[in-house]
Structure 1
Amino acid sequence: MKISARNQISGTVAAITKGAVNGQVKVDIGGGNVMTSSITEEAIAELGLAVGDKVTVIVKASDLLIAK
């Protein structure tokens, strides 16, 4: 699969927390950093996600906010 998004980070699924409609998928991207994605339970099932899977986190955003 090819995709236009340039912000692609490889990682390993560290945890999956199920919800009623959406679940949270935590991905260990190394160096003690973890990214969390909220996706539908249907998407989790369709992808067959499981802890330990190698995945790619794709970040596509029109805005990046910084606060201090």
Structure 2
Amino acid sequence: MKISARNVLEGKIIAIKKGATTAHVSLDVNGTTVMAAITNEAVDELKLEVGMKAAAVVKSSDVMIAVDE
């Protein structure tokens, strides 16, 4: 598979928590947990399971940090 996104983080699925419509999928990327919120339907279509290899694909123009003073 080829994609245009340059931020591809390969790892292993460590948790899948389904909600009413959205699932939170946690991926271990070299000791750092990356979480994605995707539809339950996507989890089923991709046949995601804990322990399988997967990649987090990040497509964003910028990332901001904010704090309350």
Q: Which runs of 5+ in 2 are unaligned?
A: none
2:47 maps to 48
Q: Which runs of 5+ in 1 are unaligned?
A: none
RMSD of aligned Cα (Å): 1.0
Percentage identity across paired residues of the two chains: 48
1:7-52 Cα deviation digits (max 9, x unpaired): 0010000000011100100000013x10000000000000000000
Bigger radius of gyration, 1 or 2?
Answer: 2
Moved runs in structure 1, 4+ residues, more than 3 A?
Answer: none
Q: How many residues align?
A: 67
Question: Under a length normalisation based on structure 1, what TM-score does the superposition of the two structures give?
Answer: 0.92
- TM-score by length of structure 2 reads 0.91
**Aligned amino acid, residue 53 of structure 1:** M
